[in-house]
Structure 1
Amino acid sequence: MARLYRLATKSLQLAALLITVFVTVTLLTSTNETQPDSSKSDVNSNDAESLHFLPPRGGDEGGGRVLCWVLTSPERHHLRAWPVKQTWASHCDHHVFMSTRADEKLGAVRLQVSEGYELLWGKTKAALQYLYHHHLHHAEWFLKADDDTFVVVENLRYMLQPYDPRLPLYFGKKFKSANISQGFMGGGAGYVLSREAVRRVVEQGFTNSTLCTAGHRGREDLQLGACLAAVGVMAADSRDHLGRDRFLSFTPETLLSPGGVTAKGHAWFWNLVYYPTREGPGCCSDTAVTFHYVSPTMMRSLHYLLYTLRLASPSDPPPPRPPDDAASVNKQEKTS
């Protein structure tokens, strides 16, 4: 019974903490939700081991290790990439930043492509080729994020538990396309590919221009979606069992506010979203994996609320007194 009580208490604490996160974030200063400038790249084998490692976990069957690769650019290393490294990236088994300038301290590799949003397809191909050649066997799952994406890695692991990374799968926020019957995953909310999906897209897709677009120009997410479909990678459903989204294209503040998505200038979203999607308190899964358009300030706030803040339990012992309070109270007791 005591064990069941502890489990129930922990579940209630987690649920209350998630509510606290959402409510607090809605009070934060609004994030600038403009089109992200992620457009950079070059593959230099000399940069191969600027990846950051943690001890291996898991195996090939269900769940497994997660490698997080983050698209960034030289001018955003300090402003955007460092807050990612200092917060959620440390929860991945491995993480690497894909840029056009190597930065050993950050863990950024230099991809050999030109910068520019219109060239993001070329950068994404270079990044996946880099992962294939240097890190394919360092993880079972490969998560792509932008440098303004916040990822709850523990929830990603939880979501992936039922799935075998030896199958050709990818997950994310799914959108409709007239040319891709299974839809494609939007880039901003991030997406995760199984090891088999990475292998297929590099070995079969990037080597065949009839399957995948040659050159560097094009929308990263749309081009990759078409390429993955062509090599038999399934665009899987990442929603929870209640149909609530786990990969989220906007901040909690925007999603929790009725009309917030349109008010932020994203009316296009409703025409393209693949599954029925809601705004307001029912917008998001309680095991959400990603949020997009997250400022460095909000990124640090979310990380604190999720990983540092804890709810006190009635069963907790009384807290120790703060130093000044203890001294003054002791002095008061002596004079009484």
Structure 2
Amino acid sequence: MWRPTLEFVFGLTLGFVYAYLNAFLLSDSFSNRRSLKCNCAQSRDTVRDTLPIKYSTRSEPATEDGVQTLLTDVDATRLTNSTNYTRSKNDTGSTENTPKRNFRIFCWIMTSPANLEKRAKYVQRTWARRCDQHIFISSQTNKTFPTFGVDTSEGRYHLTEKTMLGFDYVYKYHYNDGDWFLKADDDAYVIVENLKYFLSNQNTEEPIYFGHHFKPIAEQDYFSGGSGFVVSKEAMRRFGKYGTESNLCRNQHGVAGDVNFGKCMRNLGVKVGNSTDKYGRNRFHCFNPETHLRGHYPLWYYSYDANGARYGTESMSKHPISFHYMENQILTVHHLLYHVRPYGISIDVTEDINQEHT
């Protein structure tokens, strides 16, 4: 006769205990203790974010104007553990991606005082950090951002001097910091992992450079400047050692910085390299992705592009390296590349699309 009574009392006791714990967990005092813990962590982040931003890529993410950088812990891990790839044959004779000796990409981004807040800071927060080292070069030194100033004026009519002086600065102060040297504008987006993959079977001791291939104007073909071009160690050595001679690379002025740099490379015996993949698809792109997919090109492009001004998905390599005119798309593209994945879809990245290097 006591068993039902005992079960009732036991159940009632458990009910009171559950109700008390539930009320405690939802109480203000418990919430305050949780918020204090969060505030402590937040204060550490705040202290961290007030530290000066280094121009080296291994710096911590920064917060400006209430907008947090998109460089997350996952990005930082990828930066630290980045691997360069080359092709080798396994026991069955098929090719596979295997680690190669490390090589370093030094990136310099051409900007201006007026573009630091509009463009350059978004490049700094995103793809520039994935280079081994990077700097921003402008007409004025800004120790806060930072940028390094070269002795020239701003404006399109000074693009040649700015390009030449930028490479001269990199040679003098950073020649030993890279094996390849990338120059890009502050409205470009570069997928550095794809650049490293492409360069993995190129020889930096060869006088060569790569980019979006244009064919007219210069006596030698050249590369579009905005989307970036990458210069080998040997090409940089020749520029630094002989480029000061007036008949080779100096005394050049005007709008067409990429054309004049192409003339300089030709005078130094530096070759125009082919950066298309084994299917003939472009990796460097002088417009934004939408323009290359739709084919809405300006008329001049049809006579300039060395690869036939193709458009659509079959014109673009599945491992593209760069795009230009990305001023309002840099954060979006970075987020889609590194933080978003379609659920349930696996992407095959094992196919080697580099061309045989001869």
What is the TM-score normalised by the length of structure 1? Answer: 0.72
Q: List aligned pairs for 1:1-336, cutoff 5 A.
A: 51-54=55-58, 64-181=103-220, 183-205=221-243, 207-257=244-294, 259-261=295-297, 266-296=298-328, 298-313=329-344
Deviation at 1:234, TM superposition (A): 0.8
How far apart, CA to CA, are the structure 2 residues paired with 1:229 and 1:62?
30
Alpha carbons of structure 1 residues 314 and 150: separation in structure 2 relative to 1, 3 Å: closer
Deviation at 1:223, TM superposition (A): 0.3
How far apart, CA to CA, are the structure 1 residues paired with 2:282 and 2:345?
33
Contact 1:173–1:186 (Cα < 8 Å) also in 2:
yes
Any gaps of 5 or more consecutive residues in structure 1? 1-48, 316-336
How far apart, CA to CA, are the structure 1 residues paired with 2:120 and 2:55?
14
Could you say which residue in structure 2 is the equivalent of 1:29? none
Structure 2 counterpart of 1:195, which letter?
K
- Report SS of the residue matched to 1:170: strand
Q: Higher relative contact order by CA 8 Å / sep ≥ 6: 1 or 2? A: 1
How far apart, CA to CA, are the structure 1 residues paired with 2:173 and 2:284?
27
Deviation at 1:187, TM superposition (A): 0.6
Deviation at 1:56, TM superposition (A): 11
- Greater CA radius of gyration, 1 or 2? 2
Q: What percent of counterpart residues are identical? A: 36
Deviation at 1:146, TM superposition (A): 0.5
Contact 1:65–1:140 (Cα < 8 Å) also in 2:
yes
Residue-pair matches, total: 258
Deviation at 1:312, TM superposition (A): 3.1
Deviation at 1:217, TM superposition (A): 3.0
CA offsets per residue over residues 74-93 of structure 1, 9 Å max, x none?
A: 01001100011111111111
Contact 2:57–2:129 (Cα < 8 Å) also in 1:
no
CA offsets per residue over residues 260-291 of structure 1, 9 Å max, x none?
A: 11xxxx21011111122311222210010001
Deviation at 1:202, TM superposition (A): 2.3
